[in-house]
Structure 1
């Protein structure tokens, strides 16, 4: 199996009134997150974001609806997941995106990745996610929408 690229996307899916979709990790019950995933091959970051949204939620996103926030953070990869990357890789660059959907809705989970989903107001969602960068992205949502 080829190694994962240390380049990923995080997609905050939300409604106009800032309800945020969270997914619970299958391998870690209690670990809630937004849509995330690593780039595959030579796909663009936008293509990665669209693919991950489709794979993890079943939602299709026309390119005009998916917003590239033109922002990225580097974070240290959790020790338990480093084996997925080339030897010596410790950091991942995560690029932030958002997708606004008209209202909360049922999603189709990728059963090998997630076991549950829920919609929460943005401030509550930021408190629930396990990843600090995910929390920061969600906390920035209101300001980004009012720019």
Structure 2
């Protein structure tokens, strides 16, 4: 049996952005030059997607988002208000890159990715998880889309203006 449980082929993509449409990109530690938004799989099949998004954002960037049940659109302590995390109701099904397929159960080749947006202040501190990411940068959204290695990530970033208006 595999020592580590297989990854669940259902994940989130969180486009972290400012009101000025600047997007946070992070560089993968295991693939230099691979820039992306926050991504991550569910820990358990029953985990709520917004919880997956909050957990992954905190793990990968140190940014804390209040839980959805917290009453208020105010920041709680150092946590951003829950309303800043928005489910874009957009899903992508894509082929898992062969280099990462060993993380999934045998025969699993596709992943369903659910897209979220997270509005943050431009000066928010970012603390990367060094085992996952080595550098970060803020870019205007079109430049961020051009820098992403993942086509679905780039497409999500290009849709940012329409989701900010809604």
TM-score (norm 2): 0.86
Of residues 87, 98, 101 in structure 1, which corresponds to 2:120? 101
**CA deviation profile, 1:71-98 (whole Å, cap 9, x unmatched):** 1010000001001000000000000001
**Cα distance in 2 between the residues matched to 1:37 and 1:80:** 16
**CA deviation profile, 1:81-137 (whole Å, cap 9, x unmatched):** 001000000000000001001214331001110000000000000000000000000
TM-score (norm 1): 0.97
Asked whether the 8 Å contact 1:15–1:104 carries over to 2, the reply is no
**Cα distance in 1 between the residues matched to 2:165 and 2:87:** 15
Structure 1 pair 112–82 and aligned structure 2 pair: CA distance change class (3 A)? same
Give the greater-gyration-radius structure (CA). 2
SS at match of 1:106: coil
Aligned length: 147
**Cα distance in 1 between the residues matched to 2:13 and 2:96:** 14
The list of structure 1 runs, each at least 4 consecutive aligned residues, that deviate by more than 6 angstroms after superposition, is: none
Aligned to 1:34: 37
Aligned to 1:68: 87
Aligned to 2:147: 128
Aligned-pair RMSD on alpha carbons? Answer: 0.8
Aligned to 1:6: 9
SS at match of 2:102: helix
Of residues 44, 47, 66 in structure 1, which corresponds to 2:48? 44
**Cα distance in 2 between the residues matched to 1:106 and 1:59:** 7
Gaps of 5+ in 2: 67-81
SS at match of 1:49: helix
